[in-house]
Amino acid sequence: MSKLHKRMMEKVGNLRYGQPLSSTVNGKLPENCPRKGMAEAMLHAWKLFGDKNAVIVFMNQPELFPVCHFEQLQFIQVSVRVGRFSTLCLNENDYIMYADGRKVALIHMAYGYLPEHFPSEKEWNIRYDMERSKTILSPNIRLSLSGTKKIQQVLAKPGVIERFLPGQTEKIALLRSTFTGLWGLEEDNDEIRACPRKYVMKAQLGAGKGNYFDDQMANMLSRMSVKERGAYILQQKIWPVVAKNYMKRPFEKPTLEDI
C-alpha cells in the first residue's frame, strides 16, 4: 500500500508541477512492509522454539490459505516446513502440539475467532489444548480477547489501566488521551435514546461489522432486553475532519466531493 501511495504522489507531481514530488514522497510517506514483517516475526518465533525440525502450521478456513505469509517465508529462504496437516493434537508428555506426528513450533491462526468456527466440542477441545501447550500461538486467547469491544470498554473504565501501569502517571495520561468515550449497555440510559447521534453502538465484531447508528440504534435499544444489551458497547461518535478531494471511480469522470 505504501508503494501505491508513493506512486500516486509521483503522478500528482508530474501532472501539476511537471516533476515528481520526490522530497514529499521520501520524507512524508514511511515504508510499510507488513508481509515481510509478519514473515520475519514467524521466523523469529520458530527460532525461539528451539527445534529446527519443528513446523509452522497455518490454521485457516478450509477454502482459504494465507499465500502471502507462506510465500514471504519462502523469500526469506529458511529451511522451515510450513503447510497444512490433517491432524493436530497435544502430547500430554511434553505439552507440545503435534501435526501429523511432527512438533509444531508456531500456529498462525487466521481462523477460530468467531463462534461459528466452533461448531462442536471437538473444536473447543483443540483450542483448549493449544492454549495449554508450549507451542507458540499467533494470536493466543489473551490477545484475541483484547481485540473485542467489551474488553476495550472495560479497559477504559477509571482505575483499570492503573492496575497494569502502577505509578506511571504520565504514561497513563498519554494512553488515555488516545481513548474515545466507551460505555457498557448493561443499564438503561434515557440520554442515549434521546441523543443517538452522539454515539455508535458496537457488537463484539471488528472491522466495522455490527455497528449501529442514530435512529437504528435507538430502535434496537428500545426492543432489547438488559441481557441482550450486554453483548454491545457504546462508543462516543468520532466526527472526522471533512475535506474536498477528487473521487475517481471506474468508467466515471472524477468528481469533487466532501471526504
The maximal CA–CA distance of the chain, rounded, in angstroms, is: 69
Instruction: Name the pLDDT band for 70 (thresholds 50, 70, 90).
Output: low
| pLDDT value at residue 71 | 60
- The whole-model pTM stands at 0.72
pLDDT cut 70: percent of the chain above it? 81
Tell me if the bond preceding 119 is cis, omega within 30° of 0.
no
- Give the residue from 125, 128, 152, 151 showing the smallest Cα distance to 141: 128
202 class by beta-carbon count within 10 Å (0-12 exposed, 13-18 middle, 19+ buried): buried
| pLDDT value at residue 225 | 87
Instruction: Name the pLDDT band for 104 (thresholds 50, 70, 90).
Output: very high
CA 168 to chain centre: 27
Q: How many residues does the chain have?
A: 259
d(CA 3, CA 110): 25
| pLDDT value at residue 75 | 54
Encode pLDDT of 107-160 as tens digits: 988 888 777 888 899 989 999 999 999 999 999 998 888 888 889 899 999 999
- Tell me the C-alpha to C-alpha distance, in Å, between residue 120 and each of 30, 148, 223: 45, 22, 31
Ramachandran assignment for 8, one of left (phi > 0), alpha (psi -120 to 50 degrees), beta (any other):
alpha
Average pLDDT over residues 75-104: 82
| pLDDT value at residue 132 | 95
Is pLDDT larger for residue 40 or for residue 195? 40
Helices (H), 33-132: 34-49, 67-76, 121-132
SS3 119: coil
Ramachandran assignment for 199, one of left (phi > 0), alpha (psi -120 to 50 degrees), beta (any other):
beta
Summary mean pLDDT of the chain: 82
Decide if pLDDT at 69 tops 60: no
